Structure 1
Amino acid sequence: MKTRRVTAAIASVLALSLGAAACGGGDDNGGNGGGSGKKDAALTSIVNPSSKKGGTVTYEHSDVPDSLDPGNTYYGWVQNFSRLYARALTTFKPAAGKEGLEVVPDLAESLGTPSDDAKTWTYKLRKGLKYQDGTPITSKDVKYAILRSNFAPEALSNGPTYFKAYLEGGDKYKGPYKDKSADGLKSIETPDDNTIVFKLKQPFADFDYLATFSQTAPVPQSKDTGAKYVQNIVSSGPYQFQSYEEGRGATLVRNKNWDPKTDPIRKALPDKISVKFKVNPVTVDNDLLSDKITGDLAGTGVQPQTQPKVLQGKYASQTDSSYAGATQYIALNVNVAPFDNIHCRKAVQWGLDKQSVLDAMGGSPKGDVATTLLPPSVNGYTKFDTYATEGHKGNVAKAKEELKACGKPNGFNTILTARSDRPAEVAQATAVQASLKKIGINIEIKQFPSGKYFSNFAGVPSYVHEHKLGMLSMAWGADWPTGFGFLDQVVNGSAIKPSGGTNLSELNDPAINKALKDAIGNTDDAARTKAWGDIDKMVLDNASVVPVVYRKNLLLRSESAANVTVTQAYLGMYDYVLMSSTK
Structure 2
Amino acid sequence: MRRAVCALLTVVLVAACSSPDGSTTGSATSIVIGAGSEPENLNPVLGYAPDGAAKIFDGLVSRDASLALKPALADGLPTASADGLTWTAKLRKDITFSDGTPLTAQDVVFTYKSVLDKKVNSTIATRFDAVTDVVAVDTGTVEFTLSHAYAPFPQQLTLGIVPAAKFAGVDVNSAPFNTAPIGTGPYTVAEWRKGDRLVLKANEKYWGGAPAIKTVTVVFVPDDNARATRMAAGEFDGTVLPPKLARSYVSKSGYRLVQNPSADYRGLGIPSELPFTSDPRVRRAINLGINRQAMIDAVLAGSGKPAATPISPHLKDWYDPSATFAFDTAEAARLLDEAGWRKGADGKRARDGQPARLPVLYPAPDVLRKELALAAASDIAKLGIDAPVEATTFEVMLQRRGEAASVWGGGEPYDPDTAAYTLLHSRYAGQQGYVNMTLYRNSTVDTALDTGRRSLDPGVRKQAYQDFQRAYVNDPGWAFLVFLDHTYVLRDKWNGQETQVEPHDHGLVNAVWWNLERWTPKP
Same structural fold, with TM-score higher than 0.5 when normalized by the shorter chain = yes
Q: Bigger shift: 283-292 or 543-552?
A: 283-292
Task: Report deviation, 1:507.
Answer: 2.2
CA contact (8 A) 1:88 1:107 kept: yes
CA contact (8 A) 2:495 2:520 kept: yes
Which one-letter code corresponds to 2:130 in the other structure?
Answer: Y
CA contact (8 A) 1:334 1:505 kept: yes
CA contact (8 A) 2:51 2:156 kept: no
1:573 aligns with 2:511: yes
Task: Report deviation, 1:333.
Answer: 2.1
CA contact (8 A) 1:157 1:499 kept: no
1:254 aligns with 2:192: no
RCO comparison, higher one (Cα < 8 Å, 6+): 1
1:493 aligns with 2:426: yes
- Structure 2 residue corresponding to 1:444, chosen from 388, 391, 401: 388
- Structure 2 residue corresponding to 1:68, chosen from 37, 42, 66: 42
> When the two structures are superposed, what TM-score results if normalisation uses the length of structure 2?
0.82
Match of 1:319 in 2: 257
In structure 1, the gaps of 5 or more residues are: 1-32, 34-52, 169-186
Match of 1:482 in 2: 415
> When the two structures are superposed, what TM-score results if normalisation uses the length of structure 1?
0.74
Which one-letter code corresponds to 2:127 in the other structure?
Answer: Y
Distance change in 2, residues 1:267/1:352 (3 Å): same
Cα distance in 2 for residues equivalent to 1:240 and 1:411: 56
Question: Normalized per residue, which structure has more helix?
Answer: 1
Aligned residue runs from structure 1 range 39-78, under 5 A: 55-73=29-47
Match of 2:138 in 1: 192
Which one-letter code corresponds to 1:239 in the other structure?
Answer: Y
Distance change in 2, residues 1:227/1:581 (3 Å): farther
Cα distance in 1 for residues equivalent to 2:302 and 2:373: 17
Task: Report deviation, 1:535.
Answer: 0.9
Aligned residue runs from structure 1 range 71-470, under 5 A: 71-73=45-47, 79=51, 81-82=53-54, 84-93=55-64, 95=65, 98=66, 101-152=67-118, 155-163=120-128, 165-168=129-132, 187-214=133-160, 216-220=161-165, 221-222=167-168, 225-229=171-175, 230-255=178-203, 258-260=205-207, 263=208, 267-278=210-221, 280-288=223-231, 292-296=235-239, 301-311=240-250, 313-314=251-252, 318-365=256-303, 367-378=304-315, 379-385=317-323, 387-389=325-327, 395-404=331-340, 408-409=350-351, 411-449=355-393, 453=394, 456-458=395-397, 460=398, 463-464=399-400, 468-470=402-404
Match of 1:4 in 2: none
Distance change in 2, residues 1:151/1:542 (3 Å): farther
Task: Report deviation, 1:231.
Answer: 1.6
Cα distance in 2 for residues equivalent to 1:66 and 1:389: 39
CA contact (8 A) 1:291 1:558 kept: no
Distance change in 2, residues 1:81/1:292 (3 Å): farther
Cα distance in 2 for residues equivalent to 1:246 and 1:155: 22
Distance change in 2, residues 1:357/1:54 (3 Å): closer
Deviations 1:277-319 (A, max 9, x none): 13532343354456542322xxxx42254244234x4369822
Task: Report deviation, 1:273.
Answer: 1.4
What is the SS of the residue equivalent to 2:269? strand
Task: Report deviation, 1:445.
Answer: 2.6
CA contact (8 A) 1:372 1:383 kept: no
Task: Report deviation, 1:199.
Answer: 0.9
Which one-letter code corresponds to 2:373 in the other structure?
Answer: A
Task: Report deviation, 1:267.
Answer: 5.0
CA contact (8 A) 2:264 2:503 kept: no
Cα distance in 2 for residues equivalent to 1:167 and 1:497: 22
Distance change in 2, residues 1:329/1:394 (3 Å): farther
Identity %: 17
CA contact (8 A) 1:519 1:531 kept: yes
Q: Bigger shift: 217-226 or 105-114?
A: 217-226
Match of 1:9 in 2: none
CA contact (8 A) 1:457 1:464 kept: yes
Cα distance in 2 for residues equivalent to 1:411 and 1:375: 35
Which one-letter code corresponds to 2:148 in the other structure?
Answer: Q
Cα distance in 1 for residues equivalent to 2:254 and 2:476: 39
Distance change in 2, residues 1:574/1:267 (3 Å): farther
Aligned residue runs from structure 1 range 547-562, under 5 A: 547-562=480-495
Distance change in 2, residues 1:259/1:548 (3 Å): closer
Task: Report deviation, 1:574.
Answer: 1.1
CA contact (8 A) 2:324 2:473 kept: yes
Cα distance in 2 for residues equivalent to 1:317 and 1:372: 35
Cα distance in 2 for residues equivalent to 1:577 and 1:117: 35
Deviations 1:105-151 (A, max 9, x none): 11111111100011110111112122222222222222222222243
1:535 aligns with 2:472: no
Distance change in 2, residues 1:569/1:108 (3 Å): farther
Cα distance in 2 for residues equivalent to 1:545 and 1:225: 38
Cα distance in 1 for residues equivalent to 2:390 and 2:141: 49
In structure 2, the gaps of 5 or more residues are: 1-14, 16-26, 343-348, 505-509
Cα distance in 1 for residues equivalent to 2:246 and 2:33: 20
Cα distance in 1 for residues equivalent to 2:404 and 2:459: 37
RMSD: 3.0
Task: Report deviation, 1:560.
Answer: 2.6
CA contact (8 A) 2:290 2:327 kept: no
What is the SS of the residue equivalent to 2:467? helix
Cα distance in 1 for residues equivalent to 2:114 and 2:361: 31
Task: Report deviation, 1:360.
Answer: 4.3
Match of 2:405 in 1: 471
Distance change in 2, residues 1:516/1:267 (3 Å): farther
Cα distance in 1 for residues equivalent to 2:430 and 2:98: 34
Which one-letter code corresponds to 1:439 in the other structure?
Answer: L
Distance change in 2, residues 1:426/1:191 (3 Å): same
What is the SS of the residue equivalent to 1:441? coil
Report how many aligned residue pairs link the two structures. Answer: 479
